[in-house]
Amino acid sequence: MKNERKRTFLLITIPILALFICFNTIPLIRGVMYSFTNFKGFGKYDWVGLHNYIDLFSDARVGKSYLFTFKLAIVSTIVVNILSLLLALGLNSKIRAKSFFRGAYFLPNILGALVVGYIFNYFFTYILPALASMAGLDSLSTSILSNPSKAWIGIMIVCAWQAIAMNTIIYISGLQTVPEDVYEAGGLDGVTGFKKFRYLTFPLIIPFFSINMVLCVKNFLMVFDQIMALTKGGPAQSTESISYLIYNNGMSGGQFGFQSANAVVFFIVIVIVSVAQMKFSGKKEEQL
Amino acid sequence: MINKKINWPAMILLILGLSTIAFPLYLTVVIAFKQPSEMTNTISGILSLPKTWSFDNFKEAMRVTNFWQSLGNSLLISVVTVVLSVLVHSLMGYALGRNKSSSKFYNFVYLFIVSGMFVPFAILMMPLAKQTAEMGLANWVGVILLYVVFFMPMNILLYSGYLVNIPMALEEAAKVDGASTWTTYWKILFPIMKPMHATVAVLTALSVWNDVMTPLVIMAGSEQNTLPLAQLNFQSQFGTNYNLAFASYLLSLIPILIFYVICQKQILNGVVNGAVK
């Protein structure tokens, strides 16, 4: 009897584990191996040791893509969390047609990022400049996507438009866990307005705050579709995200080996950021 | 003490805020129905309603992007991935969840697979493009296999977490009746995990349906498109005819909008469950 159970579990685990190793572990190992070669994606290649990694740290284009990706991730995370928390507070207050509003505000999240990007591309290229020149704002009368110092703002807006929907829903489920009697007790002590939020609501939804932080940072660091739809890395390579650079130069630019090294570094960065966030949010929760 | 008054300021702000959602959608619909000659370079030319509501743009967009084939591929990939995910991941979640506290081997396998969550697609992309080509899997079958692997860490985490709350007594009772572990799983445990199946199905379906990168990297040479991929190719070929392009975008959004209208409650629950657990 006992053996039958053990055997069944092994028969389940082994094939599925094999599938996982085949399409996750082996490619990962191969990726690390390619990073030590000068492979172009085809033909012969040689081992070059740490050469790619040394080049990586002196490559201005790679450095720029890291700066851009982190700037986008940090600013978007802050913007998204502030707006979605406000939106969640609004959607959780005493309003009519609550489920209609919640459904409508979640809509952007289910739409494909690529198509959303194309729609916003049109908006930034034609509508926003036309509106700006009507309003007499000269600085916005050309498309922000063709301006190297402003294009990232366009990308941030599109990322935020979709991410706010997701974060809001998570904040709402957080707000619903706050028991009504906390507010009643606070009301007796005369706590209202922003103080009520700062000292009563926010401490109780910190777990949801950390979920949102982790989700946001991880998704924004891997941003790809929006770049593809809005700028293709331009203008003047000002909006190349790390994923986009690896895809673009690695798959078709003949830098298979070099971009593999970039991907390995990116992988390590993602692990460090995720572990740091989990450590940090774990501590925060303990303090409660 | 409970205040029943409706919060009108919040309500008004929420209605105004909706315009940020409605405006891009309105833009899409209006442009999709217009003819290029109606598009003057003024705001009113772009945003006014079309003179006639003709479906010509949609017919043309369907023909150019091979809409029905792309839709079929997207549906096929999404449905098969979701079904396989629910079957395979729940089974694996069960095997690992039930044994990881008592066996070092299963605990290691569990941690090994779950830590796959940290691996970004960027590092797998280039080797996988090579590997799937070598294995003759540079097509929709390969894409499905990859999805089943990519979503495994997250889904196993969800399933084994859910199993913690299902008492062992159920399985033991079935065993006393002479049922094998395999039968017990499919007859008793699988149906009990239904709420988690819904969560997994929703999360997997949404990510698969909207994913661009995997089919782009794997299926690039196969002359087959998924719906998002068709938009990408369309954009690079006919990007300047905006009316046709927007008709095509709108067509690609309609299936997921229908799905959302029908299953809104399940989708919202699924997304929250998946994120919070």
Nearest to A13 among B27, B92, B129 (CB): B92
Please tell me the number of Cα atoms within 13 Å of B42 on its side-chain side: 4
Return the structure tokens found at A46: 């040689």
Q: Quick check: B168 pLDDT over 80?
A: yes
**pLDDT one-digit tens code per residue, A126-137:** 888 888 888 888
At A156 the pLDDT is: 95
Task: Find the CB nearest B27 among A41, A123, A247.
Answer: A123
- Quote the pLDDT of residue A286: 47
pLDDT band at A78 (very low <50, low <70, confident <90, very high): very high
- Among A27-31, A203-207, B4-8, B220-224, top mean pLDDT goes to A27-31
Name residues 66-95 of chain B within 8 A of A (Cβ).
Answer: 88, 91-92, 94-95
In angstroms, the CA B139 to CA B197 distance is 27
What pTM did the predictor assign? 0.90
Q: For B45-84, write each residue's pLDDT tens digit.
A: 777 888 888 888 899 889 888 899 999 999 999 999 999 9
**Are A23 and B146 contacting, i.e. CB atoms less than 8 angstroms apart?**
yes
B 132-151 → A contacts, CB under 8 A: 145-146, 148-150
Q: What is the pLDDT of residue B3?
A: 52
Quickly list DSSP for A97-112.
Answer: SHHHHHHHHHHHHHS-
A178 or A241, higher pLDDT: A241
B20 contact residues in A (CB cutoff 8 A): 161
Band of residue A288 on the pLDDT scale cut at 50, 70, 90: very low
Separation of alpha carbons B98 and B100, rounded Å: 6
State the Cα torsion B260-B266-B271-B276 to the nearest 10°: 160
Q: Is A38 exposed, middle or buried (0-12, 13-18, 19+ CB in 10 A)?
A: middle
Is the model's pLDDT at B26 over the cut of 50?
yes
Query: pLDDT, tens digit, for every residue of B105-138?
Result: 999 999 999 999 889 999 999 999 999 999 988 8
User: Out of A186-195, A243-252, B27-36, B157-166, which region has the weakest mean confidence (pLDDT)?
Assistant: A186-195
pLDDT of residue A284: 58
- CB-based contact, B245 to chain A, within 8 Å: yes
Cβ under 8 Å to B: A residues 82-141? 87, 89-91, 93-96, 101-116, 118-120, 122-123, 126-127, 130-131, 134
| Beta carbons within 8 Å of A106's beta carbon, 6+ residues apart | A165, A166, A168, A169, B267, B268, B271
